[in-house]
Amino acid sequence: MPDPDIAGHASAPVVRYSVAEGAATLTLDSPHNRNAISSAMVHQLRVGLDAAASDTAVRAVVLTHTGGTFCAGADLGESSGSPDEAAAQRTHDMVGLLRGILELPKPVVGVIDGHVRAGGMGLVAACDIVVAGSRATFALTETRLGLAASIVSLTVLPKMTPRAAGRYFLTGERFGPEDAAAHGLVTLVSEDPATRAADVIADLRECSPQGLAESKHLLTMRMLDDFDRYAEGLAAQSARLFGSAEAVEGVTAFLQKRPPSWSPGR
């Protein structure tokens, strides 16, 4: 099938879509803002996922990136309106995107060789298989901004070991690919993640579409149940936190590249 008009008519392309050898590749391509999750990126990813779902030649989807950052989290500079209204829209978009990855009846393979922060962690955890390179780093930085990893928790918590989640959700500290693999966030670590991912795709091509779809459903159905149970409450938490004085200070400090008022480095 022809490549989808992934950008539409309103936005410049920030996601590239291509199909080769049985795999559709969605490449985050907005290096100027470290592939931050904007409304345009969410829309274009959803269009790409829909195209991959309907293409019978596609057996799997690869989610990867350009530049040294896979995804820096939400595009905090995009906000319009009040902080809680903007947070509500971001949350709604993110819930839909993560759910779209989980519900896709084809496996999604993340190929990561750069930095992953905040909302980007949710994308990585939503992937069925993740291959990370040596340059990958990971962090749940929300606590350092006066926030919490609300919606991201729906995909990250089922993947990470409880003790690791307790540590990184609370401290916001950075960890590398080997730790990410040990804690369950990453499947494989390789010096050449693209080539290693190609080996994974080759294995997936040996599987039937029905077998892959039904097996993926087994892997994701409990996570989707959690979306039904908790997404609304977590969305309310996210909006409340983004509208708080601490979060306003934290986000402002981040955008101004200075320590927040509570930091000992202030």
Give the Cα separation of 131 and 124 in Å (integer).
10
State the pLDDT at residue 79: 61
Distance, CA of 246 to CA of 261 (rounded, Å)? 9
199 part of a folded domain: no
Q: How many CB atoms neighbour CB 166 within 10 A? A: 11
- In terms of phi and psi (left: phi > 0; alpha: psi -120 to 50; beta: otherwise), the region of 257 is left
The whole-angstrom separation of Cα 107 and Cα 61 is 6
Domain extent at residue 218: 1-192+208-259
What are residue 61's DSSP bridge partners?
24, 108
Residue by residue, pLDDT tens for the chain (266 residues) are: 346 766 654 568 999 999 999 999 999 999 999 999 999 999 999 999 999 999 999 999 999 999 999 999 988 777 666 666 777 788 899 999 999 999 999 999 999 999 999 999 999 999 999 999 999 999 999 999 999 999 999 999 999 999 999 999 999 999 999 999 999 999 999 999 999 999 999 999 999 999 999 999 999 999 999 999 999 999 999 989 988 999 999 999 998 999 999 998 76
Per-residue pLDDT, 6: 64
What is the model's pLDDT at position 169? 98
Inter-residue contact 35 to 65 (CB < 8 Å):
yes
Is position 201 within any domain? no
H-helix or E-strand containing 76?
Answer: none
CATH at residue 156: 3.90.226.10
Q: Which two tokens stand for residue 249?
A: 């200070």
Q: How many other CB atoms are found less than 10 A from the CB of residue 221?
A: 11
Which residue, 139, 118, 46, is CA-closest to 75?
A: 118
Give which of 93, 92, 107, 126 is closest to 52, Cα–Cα. Answer: 107
Does the residue 266 lie in any domain?
A: no
- Domain membership of residue 215 (yes or no) is yes
Structural domain total, the chain: 1
Does 202 map to a domain? no
